[in-house]
Chain A
Amino acid sequence: MTVVVNSRDDFTLENYRRVATGGEAVAIGPEARTTMAEGRANFLRLLESDRTQFIYGVTSSFGPRAKLTIPPDQQRAHARAFGFRRGNWARGFGGGYLDERVVRGIVFARLANFVAGNSKARPVVAERLAALLDGPLPRVPLDGEVGAGEVLPMAHVMYGLPRGDLEEGEANPLMNGSPVSAALAADTALQAGHRLDHAEQIFALSVEAFGAPLDVYDDVLDGLWGDEDEASALAALRRHLAGASPGGRRPAVPASYRVLGRVLGQAHRAVTGAEEAARVSLRSVTDNPVYVPPDDGHPLGRAFSTGGFHNAMAYPALNALAAAWADLTLLAQRHVTALGAAAASAPPVPDSGSAAGAATGLEPVLSGLVEEARAAAMPTLLPAAVNDPQDDVSSPVFSAYRRQARAAECLDGALAVLAAKASQALLQAGRQPALPLQDLLADVRAIFPPVEGSPHDIGARGGDLAAALARSAVTGSAPFGASQ
């Protein structure tokens, strides 16, 4: 399939997913071509009306040399030189690389500037951009990408774009703006929704394993608390616990089970925040300079400098998500401890049919995961470094993306340990969870069978559980398998 883009409204999270994760191609639609052609023609009329007016990067130099004007007869050569210079100016290195799906997403997000004619570029430039998605994409290092705006990573992304025939005003829309923030927010948001769903299932399995009373997730709390995100969390828990037996449950329950609805509600809020940041950012026009088509007061339109290249909503949303994952990681650790303590104090079950104990052997892993997740939750703020007096504030989105990914990795690990622990506790108690959780339990046990004796590959199998969770966060499949 091919995603056809005609207007900014086509830059949805779903279309992003199709292109980035689904590997679909992008075609520039006829409406977009018409709009871009008109925009280009209008911009050229504006430029020709006065080639000494200030239009950043067109009639001026770049960055700290912005006050230098480019003579009219050198402006086209200037555009081509810019493209060449930036193309060879990909300087970041180290720290691993962005996944190729994210690079695809950046190319997709980049097109939002073009389709409504705000980029000043000809349709052919957008078509070349879209054509990048038909081949392998360049590697974008994760280190060294913090600068004013996003020209550093964009220099990597655009490495293979033919640019020898760029005209005035066509270089900047390729490199400037904040498509990287949009794509990193979108990539994170898509995974985050899946990850939260998996977390709710595994916490529900833990509720069953502990035998926590079900009234703490009662639907009357939806209204009494009065928050839509907490109501969503409670509803999800109730969905997974539907049909759970009310008998044989513990009368007393630790706080970590009682507050589950509220902590998961926080995660819902953070996921919603990341989704909102992605939705808004994907369809934003963030060029600098931006071209605004003619109106009554400006018959030639306007081209002016903006701060659109600094996305201020993506990195705070990623920060909030990292903090939510860290809190859930701690909660998972508390559940594992509670399950262990409950098993230690419970009388033996004579007919469980198993010699399994309460421990899985994975429990010691959790402390490290909790501490790492909390470290990753330290917020990414505006960077302290200054490039030069003109470029005096940098974009921190790469840092925020990496920390969120690290916190998510730690949460996946903690959820894997909790899933194994809950599975073990259920086996030891000779119980089955509620029906909606039984496929999940089977999937957990397929990867991490209940522990009996002293097997040698506990860590490897625990790692397999965590890896399965990480994969399913990307694909949206069931947490540990394909049973959904």
Chain B
Amino acid sequence: MTVVVNTRDDFTLANFQRVSYGEEPVRIGAGAHRSMTAGARQGPAVGSPGKETVRQAPWATRGADFGGGYLDPAAVRGILFARLASLVPGHTGARPIVAERVAALLDGPMPRVPLDGQVSAGEALPMAHVLAGLRRDDLHEGEEEALLGGSPCSAALAADAAISARYRLGCAEGVCALSIEGFGAPLTAYDEALDGLWGDPHETAALRGLRRYLDGAGTAERRFHQAPVSYRIIPRVLGQVHRAVAAVEKAATVSLRSVTSDVVYVSDELGRPAGRAVRSGGYLNGMAYPALNALSAAWADLALVAERQVTALNTAETSGLPVNLVAPGASGNGTYAYGWAANGYVEEARAAATPALLPGAVDDLHADVLSPTFSAYRRERRAAECLDGVLAILAIVSSQALFVTGRNPAGPLLPVLSFVRSVFPPIDGAGDRDLSADGGRLQQALGAAALSGQLAV
């Protein structure tokens, strides 16, 4: 399939996903051709104020940044897609051939974009990498600014994070529900009456997500008194995550279709479609990095609550379950040491939740405010990775709690339990297992599920 773009309305999160992860090509549609041709005819003629932009010899800067690993090729594809949003409405003055060349880059291998050194005024530094393969010897006036200016990287990074965040949240709800079943927590803490009493749509979504997994859960063998706080507040903490995911989805949705070029050409009083040049600070995306910061914090908080549930499950005095969840007749410390392992992930997640603010550095008197999106994106990745680690441990411990007591979870959780046990079978004391490697595989499987949306090996 091919994604055809004609207007800004074609720059949706769904189309982003088709191009970035689905690896579909992009074609510039006839409508976009017409808009760009009209814009190019009059755009540069009114005089480009591009010389006043913060970009100085942008292509020459490519290669000055290095280290820190590289963006995933899917994210680079997403940046190329996002770049087109500023071009197709014709506001940049770029010709259709320029957009076609950008789209054609998606037909080949992606260039490597280093993660370090990408903090600057605007996003010209990473864009110079992204567009490294673009023919530019015949660019017209203003077209270089149109290619390098604006904030397509922020749009793409927000979109990339939004896609995995929604899936990761779904996985987290499944694992938390499995933990509720493993612990035998009372179900009233997730009662539908709370939807209206709390009155928050995100908490309602979290409550419904949990109830979906817990549908048909038995009421026998549950503790008669209230569960520890970490079990009762989980819908509210998951509600916070829903809120953060919705915010990053909104940031992505808005940013993908924004025209953020440093100079935009718009109709003037004479009705010429590109008769007036307007300078813009669109190159600083002010919504992506705060949304990513909030997501990192939400992952960190969820990781902490998951760790507390691991501790509750492992502690016989709290849970009423067998000590360390050791299987009958087995030796060893059961799942106890996983509780310790969870501590490291929690602390790393909390460190990653330090927000990316507007950078303190200044390039020069004109480039005096820089974009922190790359920093925020990397921290969100790290916080998410740590959450996957804690969720893997919570899944292991919950599975073990059910195993040692011979219980099954509610029906909708059986596929989740099956997934967990296909990667990490219960610790039954038989054979010699590398529990570290097995745990790592489950963390990786959860990470893969955050990209595919499927809890499957």
Contact = CB atoms under 8 A, between A and B. Distances in A.
Interface string B360-376: 10100111111000000
B243 A316 contact: yes
A190 to B, nearest CB: 20
Interface string A305-338: 1111111110010011001101100110010011
Interface stretch (A217-225, A443-451, A462-470): A217-225
Interface string B367-398: 11110000000000000000000000000000
B147 interface: no
B452 interface: no
Interface in B280-335: 280-287, 290, 293-294, 297-298, 300-301, 304-305, 308, 311-312, 315, 317-318
A262 interface: yes
Interface stretch (B131-139, B176-184, B189-197, B420-428): B189-197
Contact of A393 (B239, B283, B308, B360): B308
B447 to A, nearest CB: 22
Given A265-B287, A307-B229, A382 B121 contact: no
A255 B297 contact: no
Contact of B225 (A60, A149, A341): A60
A348 interface: no
Contacts of B350: 381, 384
A391 B254 contact: no
A316 B297 contact: yes
A337 B364 CA distance: 11
Contacts of B281: 216, 255, 257-262
A155 to B, nearest CB: 18
Interface string A95-124: 000000000000000000000001000000
Interface residues of B, number: 85
Nearest to B298: A316
Interface stretch (A27-35, A136-144, A277-285, A350-358): A277-285
A224 B369 contact: no
Contacts, number: 264
A346 to B, nearest CB: 14
A225 B259 contact: yes
Contacts of A262: 281-282, 284-287
Given A259-B284, A263-B284, A389 B237 contact: no
Interface stretch (A37-45, A193-201, A246-254): A246-254
Contacts of B243: 313, 316
Contacts of B294: 316, 319-320
A392 B257 contact: no
Interface in B220-237: 223-237
B229 A312 contact: no
A338 B368 contact: yes
Given A227-B254, A284-B200, A319-B297, A312 B290 contact: no
B358 A269 contact: no
A54 interface: yes
Contacts of A319: 294, 297, 355
A226 B256 CA distance: 10
A216 B261 CA distance: 12
Contacts of B140: none
Contacts of B239: 312-313
Contact of A379 (B193, B236, B355): B355
A323 B197 contact: no
Contacts of B228: 389-392
A148 interface: yes
B54 interface: yes
Contact of A374 (B240, B278, B357, B367): B357
A251 B229 contact: no
A311 B243 CA distance: 13
A67 B300 CA distance: 31
A88 B64 CA distance: 64
Interface in A178-216: 213, 215-216
The 8 closest A-B pairs by CB, nearest first: A258-B281, A307-B232, A307-B233, A304-B188, A262-B286, A305-B226, A259-B281, A310-B233
16 contacts: A118-B197, A216-B281, A229-B287, A254-B368, A262-B281, A288-B226, A290-B193, A313-B243, A316-B294, A319-B355, A323-B290, A330-B369, A331-B369, A337-B368, A381-B304, A384-B304
Interface of B: 8, 49, 52, 54, 91, 121-122, 186, 188-189, 191, 193-194, 197-200, 202-203, 223-237, 239-240, 243-244, 254, 257-260, 264, 266, 277-287, 290, 293-294, 297-298, 300-301, 304-305, 308, 311-312, 315, 317-318, 350, 353-355, 357-358, 360, 362, 365-370
Given A226-B254, A305-B186, 7 more contacts: A262-B281, A308-B194, A310-B232, A310-B233, A311-B236, A316-B244, A330-B357
